[in-house]
């Protein structure tokens, strides 16, 4: 039997896709896997911030379309790229969430310098408003500059001296085998709360394909599913978009599910936070619903503080920035 997997063509995307294929083959040894590579608009346009060319959803929608057309059986996405404000195509769903990698961000420098020890007015490469607004609270002197490209391109720009530090997801470095050989300092969630879904993979396919759903269930991780359910429920209730500075980090420990979240203004001058937790058995029949309720509860806390206005204002500010840059 053969399964066709739609994927972007970046090294990280291919590593993730091949890992999924190997996990499936460990359960179904007779299985053959074929990669269906897609070069998305987000991959082609590298000279502008992602939000200006359509947001992270670009990485998902064009890959998703290959599955919808029937040219692939399912797609593998980085879950943080799956938008919270735009539904998946009709009849499609996240059929499996495998075990999650470290969701934290890391600060990468030539010698592993941590955030506090960076030289004054250092240039830090990142296009993520979420990262910028949180890190500038710790170090308002830093100069944040746009940084696009795959992991290897960003590391090369650091080595070439285009910036003094860059911020990357720990999961991406780990999956590509670069974490141990790349000098870095981990940014704890209390300094830089991760993006919703960061470190997790989303395997998307047709909801009506029962055979495929049963196969993908073999590599489902209940803990990861619970965590991303809470995070995405929060994001969806906030109606966050690619211009929003929104972060969410769910953690599980001894039967306790905790969700920390943050919403900030575009310039970072205003920052709202909320946290809540609940005790649940991740194997119980109501675990997913309770995780969803936790996410919505945290969103309600943020909304009561004025999160909706910050999100709307951020979208307007991003459009204004885009007009100025053009």
Return the closest-CA partner of residue 36 out of 84, 58, 68, 82: 68
DSSP 203: E
**E strand or H helix at 253:** strand 245-253
- What is d(CA 100, CA 102) in angstroms, rounded to the nearest whole number? 7
Burial label, 313 (beta-carbon count in 10 A; 0-12, 13-18, 19+): middle
Interhelix angle for 210-217 vs 11-27, to 10°? 90
**E strand or H helix at 275:** strand 271-279
Q: Which residues pair with 263 in a beta bridge?
A: 246, 272
Query: Catalytic: which of 73, 81, 105, 164?
Result: 81
Length in residues, the chain: 326
160 classed as catalytic: no
Return the closest-CA partner of residue 75 out of 88, 85, 84, 87: 88
> What is the full DSSP assignment across 1-59?
-EEEEEEESSHHHHHHHHHHHHHHHHH-TT-EEEEEEE--HHHH--SS-GGGGT-THHH
- What is d(CA 56, CA 275) in angstroms, rounded to the nearest whole number? 26
Q: Which residues are catalytic?
A: 81
């Amino acid at each position: 039997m053969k399964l066709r997997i739609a994927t972007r063509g970046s090294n990280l995307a291919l590593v993730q896709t091949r890992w999924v294929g190997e996990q499936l083959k460990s359960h179904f040894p007779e299985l053959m896997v074929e990669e269906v590579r897609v070069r998305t608009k987000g991959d082609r346009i590298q000279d502008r911030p992602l939000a200006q060319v359509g947001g992270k959803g670009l990485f998902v929608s064009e890959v998703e379309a290959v599955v919808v057309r029937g040219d692939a059986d399912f797609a593998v996405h980085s879950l943080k790229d799956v938008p919270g404000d735009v539904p998946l195509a009709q009849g499609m769903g996240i059929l499996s969430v495998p075990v999650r990698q470290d969701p934290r961000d890391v600060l990468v420098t030539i010698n592993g310098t941590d955030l506090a020890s960076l030289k004054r007015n250092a240039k830090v490469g990142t296009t993520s408003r979420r990262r910028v607004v949180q890190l500038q609270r710790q170090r308002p002197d830093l100069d944040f500059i746009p940084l696009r490209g795959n992991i290897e391109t960003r590391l090369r720009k650091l080595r070439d001296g285009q910036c003094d530090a860059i911020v990357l997801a720990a999961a991406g470095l780990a999956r590509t085998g670069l974490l141990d050989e790349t000098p870095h300092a981990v940014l704890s969630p209390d300094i830089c709360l991760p993006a919703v879904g960061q470190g997790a993979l989303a395997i998307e396919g047709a909801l009506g394909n029962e055979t495929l759903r049963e196969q993908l269930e073999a590599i489902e991780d209940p803990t990861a599913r619970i965590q991303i359910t809470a995070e995405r429920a929060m994001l969806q209730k906030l109606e966050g978009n690619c211009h929003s500075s929104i972060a969410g980090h769910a953690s599980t420990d001894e039967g306790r599910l905790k969700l920390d979240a943050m919403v900030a203004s575009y310039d970072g001058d205003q920052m709202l936070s909320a946290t809540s937790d609940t005790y649940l058995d991740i194997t119980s029949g109501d675990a997913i619903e309770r995780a969803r309720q936790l996410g919505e509860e945290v969103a309600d806390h943020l909304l009561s503080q004025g999160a909706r206005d910050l999100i709307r204002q951020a979208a307007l500010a991003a459009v204004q920035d885009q007009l100025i840059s053009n």
